[in-house]
Homo-oligomer: A and B are copies of this chain.
């Protein structure tokens, strides 16, 4: 008998991710799996994005952390519905954790759901969650060599947000090099340079989201016919 444990784990993850995806599609819900190193700015990006979209769309968040509810509390203060997953040590989210989390979130009423993954530039890229798009953030403080050293996440992502560009004058980081190296790995990557702190560049990112949100879902909860 041939046993391949790793393959089975990944297959089970893929199967549950497809179940999640079908449920999201039933409700015309766009889902983004947001990944980055610790401290690259995932939660701040979500705070700002929610604020820019909330007049037109209902946005919810699944927060993934090893422990604590610190990030979910930050999101909760924006008024967006949020549920926290504590992985209890695991360094990434998997599709089953997300399926469990959905029991505690009224995602049926949402237009856009962000799943904020555990801060880790390596493992999250390997696990599909049922998302429409993977998006990643790289802070310029991390340096321009990251695509060379952590290529998988750049390959898997549809969007790269180069964040903290307000720090560029004080860092030895060339954003052109990040773009060049990232596009060599993944020529279809859409790249935005942003500062979640100052707000610079964020409207181009939210325009990208608006273009992809199902037009009919706009004003889903509006009282107008």
Q: Could you list which residues of chain A lie within 8 angstroms of chain B, going by C-beta atoms?
A: 5, 37-40, 65-68, 70-71, 89, 91, 118-123, 139, 141-143, 145-146, 148-152, 164, 166-167, 170-172, 197
Report A176 CB to chain B, min CB distance, Å: 17
Residue numbers in B under 8 Å from A148 (CB-CB):
68, 70
- Rounded to whole angstroms, the CA-CA distance of A117 and B197 in the bound complex is 30
By Cβ-Cβ distance, the 9 closest A-B pairs, closest first, are A39-B142, A141-B141, A91-B122, A39-B143, A37-B38, A38-B121, A37-B37, A91-B123, A68-B148
Partner among B68, B150, B172 whose Cβ is within 8 Å of the Cβ of A149: B68
Chain B residue numbers with a CB within 8 Å of A121 are: 37-38, 119-120
Does B141 contact A167, Cβ atoms closer than 8 Å?
yes
Please tell me if the beta carbons of B91 and A120 are within 8 angstroms of each other in the complex: yes
A62 CB → nearest B CB, Å: 16
Contact partners of A119 in chain B: CB under 8 A: 37, 121-122, 149-150
Secondary structure of the A side of the interface? loop
Most B CB atoms within 10 A — which of A5, A40, A122?
A122
Q: Can you pick out 24 interface pairs between chain A and chain B where the beta carbons lie within 8 Å of each other?
A: A5-B5, A37-B37, A37-B121, A38-B149, A39-B139, A39-B141, A40-B142, A65-B149, A66-B122, A68-B149, A70-B148, A71-B149, A89-B152, A91-B120, A91-B123, A119-B121, A119-B122, A119-B150, A120-B120, A120-B121, A120-B122, A141-B167, A167-B167, A172-B197
What residues of chain B lie closer than 8 Å to A67, measured between beta carbons?
A: 149, 151
**When the two chains form their complex, are residues B167 and A66 in contact, meaning their CB atoms are under 8 A apart?**
no
Closest to A164 in B: B141
Chain B residue at minimal CB-CB distance from A40: B142
CA separation between A80 and B167, bound complex, in Å? 32
Q: State which of B89, B91, B170 has its C-beta within 8 Å of the C-beta of A170.
A: B170
CA distance A91 to B148 in the complex (A): 15
